[in-house]
Amino acid sequence: MNIQTAIQGATGYTGAELIRLIDAHPVFQIMHLGAHSQAGRKVSDALPGVSGTIGDTLLASADDPLPDEVELVFTALPHGASARCVQRALNSGKRVVDLSADFRHRDVATYKTAYGVDHPCPELLSEAIYGITEFQKDTLLAEARLVANPGCYPTSALLPLIPLLRAGVLDTGNIIIDSKSGASGAGRSARTELIFCEVNENVRAYGLPKHRHAWEIEEKACFFSDVRACIQFVPHILPMTRGMLSTLHLSGKQPETWCGILMNAFADKPFVCMLAEGQLPSIAGVAGSNRCDIGISVTGPDHAVVISCLDNLIKGAAGQAVQNANLMFGLNEQAGLSRIALWP
């Protein structure tokens, strides 16, 4: 059985990763590649890493109609542009996993506050299923027409946070998330602040006082745990390409029990690996895989540090999109996804 797919926004970093994953997928096949700006070029000219048959494909415009055979569309376009593209795909009867921010929020007001623009297609918001795979219901994914793939920071924050919020052990007024991301999270755009010599041998925080993803973390932490929490979120950009590490500084009761809570939560989740207490994860352990590794260190009678690591382009974007798509089409959740990192 094959399922034909299209990728919109194929020439960005997330699009390139989708091509790599789907090209190796046992069921999904790439039938159509659309791009925001490089339509008409060969894929291999726009993406240095793509070779073989798929490399000879000509890039369509993101506005071009999709082939009839396509059942599933991945949209990895900038916010705003993505929503329109999603709408066209749904109207032509396709199912969609949207990797932009456009369908992550339930509420147009939050979207406008976080992204500074009016939502282009508010009528679709109510049917979008938020695809944090480990916490979303398989049945909802199986029926979804539109899955909103989570942001990379929210994925790294929510995976450890939701089980602890559900367990009621956290001091919800004092949750601090200090995140560190590789530069690929900023996308493939030619801005002076992103050129090599400005990022290399450098670190800086950005997006303060409230980064866009802070809204997403707050909303989804509450949605999946039924607990309202006050979350401080500070992201940093690091001199590396891939990977994300989030350090959660937490207080609450009986932190020595939290490792067990997290182990239980992820016992049957193939892509989340909860380490033994005191063992700390590293980005190198997950880069190139769809895994999120989580570790905890109890630092006081009512304090602990929880650290989560993932590859921002895989579990934080394209990999989780494939994981969601697998469940949408009744496939094995792990189809086409690796649990082993590309190391070193």
Residue 114 Cβ vs its own copies, minimum distance, rounded to whole Å: 15
Catalytic residue among 152, 259, 292, 309: 152
3-state secondary structure of 311: coil
| CB atoms near residue 72 (< 10 Å) | 20
Angle at 51 between CA 196 and CA 287, to 5 degrees: 50
Angstrom distance (rounded) from CA 38 to CA 11: 8
Integer CA distances (angstroms), 340 to 36, 159, 273, 331, in order: 32, 19, 12, 20
Kind of pairing, strands 175-181 and 244-251? Answer: antiparallel
The nearer residue to its own copies, 21 or 165, going by C-beta atoms, is: 21
The nearer residue to its own copies, 87 or 338, going by C-beta atoms, is: 338
- Is 152 catalytic? The answer is yes
Angstrom distance (rounded) from CA 105 to CA 316: 17
Residue 12 Cβ vs its own copies, minimum distance, rounded to whole Å: 10
The nearer residue to its own copies, 64 or 178, going by C-beta atoms, is: 178
Angstrom distance (rounded) from CA 31 to CA 8: 11
Q: Which residues, 6 or more positions from 189, have their beta carbon under 8 angstroms from its beta carbon? A: none
The nearer residue to its own copies, 85 or 245, going by C-beta atoms, is: 245
Cis-peptide into 78, omega within 30 deg = no
Tokens of 309: 């690591």
Tokens of 10: 């194929």
The nearer residue to its own copies, 39 or 328, going by C-beta atoms, is: 39
Residue 281 Cβ vs its own copies, minimum distance, rounded to whole Å: 7
Residue 129 Cβ vs its own copies, minimum distance, rounded to whole Å: 27
The nearer residue to its own copies, 124 or 238, going by C-beta atoms, is: 238
Residue 16 Cβ vs its own copies, minimum distance, rounded to whole Å: 6
* Residue where the block lists tokens 């973390």: 217
Angstrom distance (rounded) from CA 34 to CA 68: 15
Angstrom distance (rounded) from CA 244 to CA 232: 17
Residue 190 Cβ vs its own copies, minimum distance, rounded to whole Å: 5
**Catalytic positions, written as ranges:** 152
